[in-house]
Amino acid sequence: MPMYTFKCGGCGVQSEAVVKRKTKKVECNVCGEMATRELSRDMAATFQSGASMSQKTGVQELDFDYDRAIGEDSRRKWDTINKRTAHKQSVVSSTPGAEIGDLSRNPDGSYVVMPKQVRQTVDSARKEAHKSTSM
Ligand SMILES: [Zn+2]
């Protein structure tokens, strides 16, 4: 059965549904009004130009999986970033007088607050590095 686009007469929401060719109306799943069938863009283009159907047609499920995979991936990355930030903040707040800039990253990915002396050494090393690059 083909997939058609329906536009709701009540709320105006467009939806897609796989229905029989002769089905002209479906119930809107948002407001329950009747939604009438529209020519999809692909169909309209086909009628106008005689071109073949868009490549998207027929692989809608694949497109959906692809979008979902991208979303899942970025969600996981943000998860990691948020966890790392939360971890940094908890380390800093458990060490009186420490700042985010005092943190040093361990090889295992956790963070520790550098002792003041180490911090000063790192700071002056950074300043030296900055000096030499700006000259
Ligand atoms: Zn509706």
Per-residue pLDDT tens digits for 75-123 = 888 888 888 888 888 888 888 878 887 888 888 878 888 887 787 887 8
Least confident of 15-24, 43-52, 76-85, 118-127: 43-52
pLDDT at residue 5 tops 60: yes
Tokens linked to 32: 């329950």
Compute the distance from residue 11 Cα to the ligand 1 centre, in Å. 4
| Buried residues in 69-90 as b, exposed as e (16+ CB within 10 A) | eeeeeeeeeeeeeeeeeeebee
CB-CB contact of 51 with 45 (8 Å): yes
Provide the pLDDT confidence category of residue 48 given band limits of 50, 70 and 90.
low
| pLDDT at residue 107, as a whole number | 84
The share of the chain scoring above pLDDT 90, in percent, equals 19
- Tell me the C-alpha to C-alpha distance, in Å, between residue 99 and each of 12, 84, 86, 88, 93: 53, 15, 14, 10, 8
Q: Is the pLDDT of residue 70 over 60?
A: yes
Q: How many angstroms is it from 6 CA to the middle of ligand 1?
A: 10
Give the Cα separation of 53 and 44 in Å (integer): 10
For ligand 1, a single-atom ion, the residues with CB < 5 A are: 8, 10-11, 28, 30-31, 33
Sign of CA dihedral 117, 120, 121, 122: positive
Measured in Å, residue 3 CA sits from the centre of ligand 1 at 18
The answer to whether the pTM exceeds 0.75 is: no
Cβ atoms of 33 and 41 within 8 Å: the answer is no
CB atoms within 10 A of CB 4: 20
